[in-house]
Amino acid sequence: MTNTVKEIMHQHTFVQGGMTIKDVAALMSKKRIGSVLIKTTKGVGILTERDITGKIVAAAKDPKKVSAEDVMTFPAKTINSDAEIYEACRIFTENHFRRLPVVEDGKIIGIVTTRDIVRQFVPQLVKDLYHFKDFRF
């Protein structure tokens, strides 16, 4: 049974803070990812699809003229690699997040998303529910 975020996380992608939003969006599209991490001298930030749509597109800003560091969410909230999955779910729910960088020994080693949790648990949940569909409580 899977218990920790480290068991379901996936690889993360870092970009430079000076990279334009246009270039970051192109990279995210090419890699089919919904976020990137940005290292700064102050720490690590995160830039998500939601940041791009809300802070650039909706605000009618030019993505060729705005940098990732200008738009990122900073500091990025993180979760320890040995944290149980329900802890990630709690953080997602309370903060309206969908992505959390995973930290081990002070270093980011991956990222866990709501999709990772769905991929891991929903198929079995649906299967279990199907088996009980005719059961009367």
- Which pLDDT value is given to residue 119? 86
Would residue 119 count as lying in a domain? yes
Q: Identify the domain containing residue 119 by its residue range.
A: 5-131
- Which pLDDT value is given to residue 130? 65
Q: How many Å is the Cα radius of gyration of the chain? A: 17
Largest pairwise CA distance in the chain: 61
Would residue 71 count as lying in a domain? yes
Q: Which structure tokens are listed for 105?
A: 């020994």
Which residue positions in the chain have pLDDT lower than 70?
Answer: 1-2, 123, 128-137
Q: What is the CATH number of the domain that holds 21?
A: 3.10.580.10
- Which pLDDT value is given to residue 134? 61
- Which pLDDT value is given to residue 21? 98
DSSP string, the chain: ---BGGGT-B---EEETTSBHHHHHHHHHHHT-SEEEEEETTEEEEEEHHHHIIIIITTT--TTT-BHHHHSBSSPP-EETTSBHHHHHHHHHHHT-SEEEEEETTEEEEEEEHHHHHHHHHHHHHHHHHHTTT---
| CA–CA dist 19, 16 (Å, integer) | 6
- Which pLDDT value is given to residue 129? 67
Whether 17 and 38 have beta carbons less than 8 Å apart is answered as yes
Would residue 137 count as lying in a domain? no
| CA–CA dist 21, 16 (Å, integer) | 11
Describe the strand order of the beta sheet including 14-16 as a list of residue ranges: 14-16, 35-40, 43-48
Would residue 63 count as lying in a domain? yes
Number of domains observed in the structure of the chain: 1
Would residue 136 count as lying in a domain? no
